Amino acid sequence: SRTRVRQRPGRQYSGVAKLAKKVGNAVKPSRFGSRRPKMNESITMMDTTIIRLADLPRQRWKNNGGWTHEIARGGGEDWLWRVSVADVESDGAFSLFPGMLRELLILSGEGVALQFENGQTIALTPEQPRLRFDGDQPIYSRLLDGAVRDFNLIWQPARVDTKLSEHEISGLQTLAVAE
């Protein structure tokens, strides 16, 4: 059977962790092998799980500046990768993730200015919504005009290869999901 999901028109984002080494059953290979499915190719799915952000537990940040909704992680307690959505309510320091890379993508709000220890400032806005950076860099985040929601992909690059893709969705779409 096909899975059809009605999405709101506009930019939609998906994070995909491709593991360089297999980590338990966190990621299963696609039945398409090394090729990508064609745009209108029918896909049969046995078990499909739709994760609603409202159903995920919220974890308050140590600095009380926001909340994290963890979507998934792989590699056990000392995880190799994590996908989450954060609600940023106030300015503050980023948590450090030594040995990790991070990719941050603004989902809603006017954006943030990331101030790096070396003096560089990078603004993430709806027009320039994403940035990849080292997780062990001290960064101070300043909201540009109110709260923002962002998508976070964090991983250990020595052990995991990742790709974050964004797709324009309009109307009714059939979603391809790896088995």
pLDDT digits (tens), the chain, 179 positions: 333 434 444 444 443 333 322 233 333 333 444 444 444 444 444 455 677 888 889 999 877 889 999 988 888 888 899 999 999 999 999 989 999 999 999 999 999 999 999 999 999 999 999 999 999 999 999 999 999 999 999 999 999 888 887 766 666 665 554 43
User: How many Cα atoms within 13 Å fall on the side-chain side of residue 144?
Assistant: 17
> Which has the closest alpha carbon to 7: 166, 173, 165, 149?
173
Q: How far apart are CA 112 and CA 144, in angstroms?
A: 5
What pTM value is reported for the model? 0.67
Q: How far apart are CA 86 and CA 152, in angstroms?
A: 7
The 8-class DSSP code of residue 2 comes to -
